[in-house]
Structure 1
Amino acid sequence: MTTKATLRRAALAHRAALPAAEVAQRSTQVCEQLFQHFPVAQWRWLHVFLPLARRNEPDTWRIIRRLWSEELPVRLAAPVVQPDGISLKHYELTPATPLLENRWGIPEPVAEAAEVAPALLDAVLVPLLAVDEAGHRVGYGGGFYDRFLAQCRPGALFIGFSLLDGPPLARMADVLPTDVPLHAWLTPGRVWRF
């Protein structure tokens, strides 16, 4: 079994080596997976992370712009890291929402936007670097998403979003009791369900 730290280093190196054209192509493919395999138009609220482009994260703006251009009834929420450095709040994202980069360079809605309670969310797109067969994920190691997902309502879908294809690992060595598993993992090549 491999530790999260080892998996994190390997996945970050793999993703960092992807050329820009490959990142764009894989982002398009993984975004298409969401619309092909999930009832997006039936959701009231979708939580979406905003990509950190310099770290080759999936370009979720493709989903956001598609929802806005097709005028689907889905409302969007995006996270904002709080001053305590360990928690997130969530704000509505509209075409008019101003964004500011946080200390890591991640765009965030400004706090004047309407706050969205985790209990309202129908689905959450979750950034990740690796995942195992039970749906446990490796993120950046801050625990932000595990704390956030634990606040969501029962029945909300947690969907991992990655540019790197599977298969999932058999098992990670250091899964914690506070780790919240995903319901699905979207890659450019397929959808995995847990």
Structure 2
Amino acid sequence: MNRHKQTLRRQFLQQRQALAPAVWQMQSDRICHHLANCHQFVEAQTILAYQSCRQEPNLHSLFKATDKQWGLSRCVGKDLRWHRWQPSELLVTGEYGILEPSAELPTLAASNVDLILVPAVAIDFNNYRLGYGGGYYDRLRADADWRKIPTIGIVFDFAYVESLPIEPWDLPLDAVCTELGFDRPQLGNSIIWHC
């Protein structure tokens, strides 16, 4: 495993977990405000999201959007399995201590999904993501069907940095949202962003 990535991951996680709860919530709310006013979010019917852990930006205020169909993942072996989920449905603790939807809920295929909100430890200005090291999103996006779906990386601004070490299999996200707003979209990307 890349030692430089491990060091960066530890530094960014420590910085994120040092955020005061009020600051964390305020910055999370700003991210949700930017997302809620983004054309891609407004137009999307089914959105894959995440449950905040280790002080990731909290998306709970977005889940109140009752006109959306939400999807959350479960870790199954080395892969993510996505399930339809509504905020009224209970979550269970998965193998990594992350809240996950019940395995009984209907699954979602790539063809049913309009947008993916991707958590990250850090993201660089070329929209490459530093994750937790498990490779779950890398494997998901290596699949041609899933790769077609627009992605927005979600991080606090301190973790939106000039460059990160990348691997040959890494794919850039389509956009990045922080509490300060959206980045510039990737040049040459076929998706037109109106955020």
Q: Work out whether the TM-score is over 0.5.
A: yes
Going from structure 1 to structure 2, the CA distance change for 1:35 and 1:165 (only over 3 Å counts) comes to farther
Q: After the TM superposition, which of the residue ranges 16-25 and 101-110 deviates more from structure 2?
A: 101-110
**For residues 25-174 of structure 1, what are the structure 2 equivalents within 5 Å?**
25-52=26-53, 55-65=54-64, 67-68=65-66, 72=67, 74-82=68-76, 84=77, 86-151=78-143, 152-153=145-146, 155-165=148-158, 167-169=160-162, 171-173=163-165
Assess if the C-alpha contact under 8 Å between 2:130 and 2:164 holds in 1: no
How far apart in 2 are the matches of 1:136 and 1:39?
Answer: 20
**1:187 corresponds to which residue?**
178
Q: Kindly provide the CA deviation profile for residues 110-164 of structure 1, in whole angstroms up to 9, marking residues without a partner as x.
A: 0110100123211101011211222110011111111112334454211001123
Identity within the alignment, %: 27
Task: Report the AA paired with residue 129 of structure 1.
Answer: V
Q: Kindly provide the CA deviation profile for residues 14-40 of structure 1, in whole angstroms up to 9, marking residues without a partner as x.
A: 101101001100100111111123332
TM-score, normalization: structure 2?
Answer: 0.85
Assess if the C-alpha contact under 8 Å between 1:3 and 1:172 holds in 2: no
- Root mean square deviation, CA, Å: 1.9
List gaps (5 residues or longer) in structure 2: 187-195
Runs of at least 4 residues off by over 6 Å: none
Name the SS for the 2:100 alignment partner: strand
List gaps (5 residues or longer) in structure 1: none
How far apart in 2 are the matches of 1:20 and 1:167?
Answer: 20
How far apart in 1 are the matches of 2:25 and 2:164?
Answer: 29
Q: Give 1:183 deviation, angstroms.
A: 0.7
Going from structure 1 to structure 2, the CA distance change for 1:91 and 1:40 (only over 3 Å counts) comes to same
Task: Report the AA paired with residue 94 of structure 1.
Answer: Q
TM-score, normalization: structure 1?
Answer: 0.86
How far apart in 2 are the matches of 1:166 and 1:96?
Answer: 32
Assess if the C-alpha contact under 8 Å between 1:135 and 1:184 holds in 2: yes
Task: Report the AA paired with residue 58 of structure 1.
Answer: P
Name the SS for the 1:108 alignment partner: strand
Task: Report the AA paired with residue 171 of structure 2.
Answer: V
**2:190 corresponds to which residue?**
none
How far apart in 2 are the matches of 1:28 and 1:15?
Answer: 16
